[in-house]
Structure 1
Amino acid sequence: MRIQLLSDLHLETESFEPEPNPAAELLVLGGDIDSRWAALQRFRGWPVPVLMVAGNHEFDGRELDDAWLALRARCGQLGITLLERESLVRADADGARIRFVATVRWCDFDLFGDTGRATAMRAAAYYMRIMRSTRRGVAFDPEGVREEALACRDWLAAELAKTGDWDRTVALTHFAPSLRSADPRYGAQPGTASFCNADDALLPFATTWIHGHLHCRHDYLVEHAGGRTRVICNARGHGRKGEAEGHDPLRLYEV
């Protein structure tokens, strides 16, 4: 299946006009499209189906549970399929059945193991202040994010382990599944655990893993006993920081 992949457009501040690649069979939105949700309107009537996984900034300044309901309604009005702890099977032009297994997969701060968790959670407090979100009426802090993240991981592990009537599996998360996806500008530091998870053990259950969140591009292979998994990210990022340089919004990925 030929997919066009867009993430981290940040259209609440960025000036960018998405255009469809006429050869794509599916558009995947990997989160952080627009914290206001207004720019989601640009994907109404897209020439191919649109799948979306939410990013952390889709919840900026909002109550988490209420936001999920409202975002689902908004996407439904626009013909966008929003997936959260849900799977969907779609056939491609050649008849192959592709399973998409999707969740935000919030960060659990275990990227550097148990000993690094406390430091990673302290570093994450900065990002939580930027979001200004609440969960169950209280600040959505690193402890709350970790609770959500562990629930996401439990679901993801169970779902990926399932077998069924499909030919290939694509995992779709906003947060990255491995330290290998760390932004090379920052490398392995406590704050990186707010962007990447240590989900390397889950990689063999997917043929392709798509993520966003890191404002850089990735396309690499992870070899394992079952073969190999391709990890891809086509995040645009902030133009004012030079992060959009080299970004190709029309690039196609075969999954």
Structure 2
Amino acid sequence: MCVKLYGDIFRMKIQLASDLHLELLQRDFPGERLITPAGGVDVLVLAGDIANGTQAIDLFKNWPVPVLYLAGNHEFYGESFEQARITLRKATEGTNIHFLDNDVVDFGGVRFLGATLWTD
């Protein structure tokens, strides 16, 4: 992927995953992530519905590259929306995971913006 910002071209390799629904596997296959680190990537983007609650953070906290994590609706199961956001942010502290919740993260010369959005 090439991103052009302010006249310069930054080359960044992004590994992207969404809708893994790992909560369905954890009962029978603890620790299963369905994906493995891709060679040569700069960042892993987990774009929602990875697992319920903070399960995904436990599964990806030792990933070999930084992880940008956006919550889908499954991450909010079992808690209020506001409490789940607090819980997810706290769970990522001290890890290589950046929880994007109405946030901006600059990484490798590229700006990532993230928010959880859905509607009825």
**TM-score, normalised to structure 2's length?**
0.77
Cα displacement (A) at 1:77: 4.3
CA distance in 2, matches of 1:32, 1:38: 11
Partner of 1:79: 96
Q: Which has the higher helix share?
A: 1
Partner of 1:11: 22
Residues 83-122 of structure 1 deviation map (CA, whole Å, 9 limit, x = unaligned): 111112212xxxxx21111111222xxxxxxxxxxxxxxx
Residues 190-246 of structure 1 deviation map (CA, whole Å, 9 limit, x = unaligned): xxxxxxxxxxxxxxxxxxxxxxxxxxxxxxxxxxxxxxxxxxxxxxxxxxxxxxxxx
1:34 aligns with 2:51: yes
Structure 2 unaligned spans of 5+: 1-11
Counterpart contact for 1:7–1:29, Cα < 8 Å: yes
Equivalences for 1:78-227 in 2 at 5 Å? Answer: 78-91=95-108, 97-107=109-119, 124=120
Residues 20-42 of structure 1 deviation map (CA, whole Å, 9 limit, x = unaligned): 01211100000111114224312
Aligned pairs, number: 103
What amino acid maps onto 1:63 in structure 2? S
Cα displacement (A) at 1:46: 1.2
Which structure has the bigger radius of gyration?
Answer: 1
CA RMSD of aligned residues (A): 1.6
What amino acid maps onto 1:45 in structure 2? N
1:13 partner SS: helix
State the percentage of identical aligned residues: 39
CA distance in 2, matches of 1:62, 1:106: 17
1:101 partner SS: strand
